[in-house]
Amino acid sequence: MARDYYGLLGVGRGASADEIKRAYRKLARELHPDVNPDPAAQQRFKDVTAAYEVLSDPAKRQVVDLGGDPLAPAGGGGGAAGDPFGGMGLGDIMDAFFGGGQGGPRRGPRSRTRQGEDALIQVELTLQECSTGVAKDITVDTATLCSTCHGNGCAPGTSPSTCDTCGGSGELQQVQRSLLGQVITTRPCPVCRGFGEVVPEPCQQCHGEGRVRARRVVRANIPAGVGDGIRVRLAGQGEVGPGGGAPGDLYVEVREAVHERFTRDGIDLHCTVHVPMTTAALGTTMSLATLHGAQDLVIQSGTQSGTVLTLRGQGMPRLRGSGSGNLHVHIEVVTPTRLDSRQTELLRELAVLRGEEQPELAARGHGGFFSRLRDSLAGR
């Protein structure tokens, strides 16, 4: 009786060649003796391998579809039923377990020239520089192109030569025998480190690296509106890569210095202005120095301590886009702490005129607020 080869692989009679191969791959990974030592699994592995050998061959598959068994002793043609691989090619077995041929495609030698890394440097700016933008000459220590070998790593008058060990491929292959036949593994050549070529006489200045560390000055154009932690990218000003590879980028990170008068909140600025008590009461117009020049600050009569006056457009410029923030001026009214006799008398008269002094309490020695203030200052 003919065996059900389709059933062994778990596919229908109309399955395509790709479907049959995928089914076999899945079962082979589960049942191979190296993975599953169960004797029953080993026997089933032989069966599904034989089924794949039959159904992957159009002539043998036709025999099965006509009701015959091409692996039966009298079935005519093909391999023997006892052959666990049923005449399968090594490529099919390797493809089932390793996903693509005998050891995979060769990668070839690695390039000795590689992209350089990015570099980062910090620069301190004043608030004024952050506001207006500034061009800074920055000293950096980075890898630069070797001036002797110009990146190839060889001493003058010499050049790289093909590696004799790997023949320039950068790889070595090792062949091992297993139950599946020959297994080919590939590893980088230990002599040339996968480059496929060696440097017989390294450059004395860079020791074969093609780059050296050097100090240089870079001009950085810092735009207006930057702030603490903002990074400005200078393309191609970073580290030169090994073998003279293209340099990376240089990032300049801003560190904003503390200002003696202004504090920053995004694009807005804040400052505190101390106003004498009499000025706050009478009102005045005073000149205030801002980052954009002197501005008139109008103090209305009766201004209280804690009042916030806003000067629009006197803050920091936007880093991206147009316009500027505002300057918020916090008013702090200053009360005098030292009064002479005349000043005390005048303030007492003012208090009486405003109804803030209580004569009857003053007659009893208690006095009003200014009397008590005067007495405390006099040490009584």
CATH topology of domain 5-98: Helix Hairpins (1.10.287)
User: Is 271 marked within a binding site?
Assistant: no
Phi/psi at 185 (5° precision): -115, 150
Note the CATH architecture for domain 119-256: Ribbon (2.10)
Position 293 scores a pLDDT of: 92
pLDDT digits (tens, 9 = 90+) for 299-351: 999 999 999 999 999 999 999 888 999 999 999 999 988 889 998 899 888 88
Task: Tell me if 189 is assigned to a ligand binding site.
Answer: yes
Q: Is 203 among the annotated ligand-binding positions?
A: yes
Task: At 200, give phi and psi (nearest 5°).
Answer: -65, -35
- Cα separation, 58 vs 76, in Å, equals 14
- Among the listed residues 213, 206, 247, the one whose alpha carbon sits nearest the alpha carbon of residue 141: 213
- In order of 213, 275, 374, 377, the CA distances from 336 in angstroms are 63, 11, 11, 11
Does the CA dihedral 271-274-278-281 come out positive or negative?
positive
The tens digit of pLDDT for each residue in 68-125 reads: 787 776 433 333 334 434 333 434 444 444 444 344 455 678 888 889 999 999 999 9
Q: What's the rounded mean pLDDT across residues 60-74?
A: 75
What residue ranges do the domains of the chain occupy? 5-98, 119-256, 272-334, 341-378
Does CATH place domain 272-334 in 3.30.565.10? no
CA distance 129 to 2: 90
Predicted structure pTM score: 0.59
The answer to whether 163 is a known ligand-binding residue is yes
Q: Which residue has the tokens 């002479």?
A: 340
Q: What does each C-alpha distance from 377 to 341, 348, 363 come to in angstroms?
A: 11, 15, 20
- Strand pairing report for 211-222 and 134-145: antiparallel
Indicate if the pLDDT at residue 234 is higher than 80. Answer: yes
pLDDT band for position 182 (50/70/90)?
low
